[in-house]
């Protein structure tokens, strides 16, 4: 990366207006830049014929246009695509595209690795390396759409890739702001979902700041079990988490999505389903049940279909909306919890390892 160069995609429109003014240009240039970056998806500044040569040169030498580079693309037989991106410091992240025409959902990473150490999550084994910048988040969308060309348009975004989005709040919030700006990619807030393992203060802040959809990774209905599976529960208990969910501001027809990973013999018994019903009482909720698919070294296994359906029946019998999400991209290890930024030559990334779409699911 160029020394002292700025990541141009870090800027919201207002910040970009301030910047172009600071370098001697008029503020309306910022809207032109937004169109070039996010509508035309330019690959170099010399494509911008409406900018003066001197401003193009200033942009060329003073800014970084692409915050990441596409190193590898792998496609599953079901159409799921996993992208391996390289960052300027040599680190890597992954994004996953789930095609379900006319809906095309891109799963975004927000950190390199993750610090939460959930026992069922391969990403957690990488450890936490650093937060992504807003530019590195936004550029995942830009590069995938750039690569797709006019074949399709990304319609939905989910922050369910590598990392805990709310642990990188400022960058994620700025990225959402940029993605939704009508002068650029113009995503609707209704088409963006931010997932969290339960960082309560940041959840409350998100509820005040943005009308995006919220998904909560729950995975257990009891504090003892959840603390074993998800160490974050030792800081923010289920009581704290569910109280925050009850207070969360929702539009009349919106609900919070609760992700529940079904682990054979661990959290998939009828008593767990009944406890989940009780736990979600009074919450505007829908539940995504995600049967686990094992990966090398995992201590967990997928429950039987009979047990999965029995669990769902208890929830629906109590008038909870509960959907069983099917695996996607299992051949290429394309699950959010199984993203470890591994290339195809790494043994643990190969299809025969059973690494599958274990608990990434699309909110309804």
Is 131 within 8 Å of 8 (Cβ atoms)? no
Residue 94 designated active-site: yes
Select which of 94, 136, 164, 259 is catalytic.
94
What does each C-alpha distance from 125 to 85, 106, 226, 327 come to in angstroms?
Answer: 19, 23, 18, 22
CA distance 23 to 21: 5
Is 264 within 8 Å of 302 (Cβ atoms)? yes
- First-residue to last-residue Cα distance in the chain: 40
The 10 Å Cβ neighbour count of residue 102 is 8
DSSP tag of 359:
S
Residue 336 designated active-site: yes
CA distance 316 to 277: 9
* Element (DSSP H or E) covering residue 192: strand 192-196
CA distance 333 to 342: 10
The 10 Å Cβ neighbour count of residue 88 is 15
For the range 268-273, what are the long-range contacts, defined as Cβ-Cβ under 8 Å and sequence gap of 24 or more?
268/303, 268/307, 268/308, 268/311, 270/310, 270/311, 270/314, 272/220, 272/221, 272/222, 272/311, 273/310, 273/311, 273/314, 273/315
DSSP, collapsed to helix, strand or coil, labels residue 69 as strand
DSSP tag of 325:
P
Cβ-Cβ contacts under 8 Å for 4 (sequence gap 6 or more): none
Catalytically active residues are 94, 336
């Amino acid at each position: 990366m160029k020394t002292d160069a700025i990541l141009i995609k870090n800027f919201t429109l207002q910040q970009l207006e301030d910047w172009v003014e600071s370098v001697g240009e008029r503020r309306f240039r910022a809207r032109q830049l937004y169109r070039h970056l996010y509508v035309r998806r330019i690959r170099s500044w010399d494509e911008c014929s409406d900018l003066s040569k001197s401003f193009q040169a200033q942009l060329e030498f003073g800014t970084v246009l692409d915050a990441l580079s596409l190193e590898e693309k792998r496609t599953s037989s079901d159409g799921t695509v996993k992208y391996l991106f390289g960052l300027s410091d040599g680190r890597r992240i992954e994004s996953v595209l789930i095609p379900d025409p006319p809906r095309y959902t891109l799963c975004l990473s927000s950190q390199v690795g993750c610090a939460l150490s959930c026992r069922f999550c391969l990403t957690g084994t990488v450890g936490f390396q650093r937060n992504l910048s807003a530019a590195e988040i936004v550029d995942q969308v830009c590069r995938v759409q750039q690569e797709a060309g006019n074949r399709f348009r990304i319609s939905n975004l989910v922050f369910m890739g590598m990392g805990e989005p709310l642990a990188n709040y400022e960058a994620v919030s700025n990225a959402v702001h940029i993605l939704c700006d009508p002068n650029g990619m113009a995503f609707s807030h209704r088409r963006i979902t931010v997932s969290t393992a339960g960082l309560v203060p940041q959840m409350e802040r998100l509820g005040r700041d943005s009308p995006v959809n919220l998904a909560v990774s729950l995975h257990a209905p009891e504090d003892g079990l959840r603390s074993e599976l998800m160490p974050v529960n030792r800081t923010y208990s289920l009581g704290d988490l569910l109280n925050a969910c009850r207070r969360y501001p929702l539009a009349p027809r919106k609900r919070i999505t609760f992700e529940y990973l079904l682990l054979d013999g661990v959290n998939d018994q009828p008593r767990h389903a009944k406890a989940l019903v009780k736990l979600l009482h009074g919450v505007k909720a829908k539940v995504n049940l995600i049967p686990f698919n094992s990966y090398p070294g995992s201590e967990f296994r997928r429950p039987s279909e009979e047990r999965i359906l029995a669990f769902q029946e208890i929830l629906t019998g109590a008038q909870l909306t509960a959907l069983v999400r099917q695996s996607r991209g299992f051949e290429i290890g394309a699950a959010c919890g199984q993203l470890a930024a591994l290339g195809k030559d790494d043994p643990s990334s190969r299809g025969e390892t059973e690494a599958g779409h274990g608990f990434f699911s699309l909110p309804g």
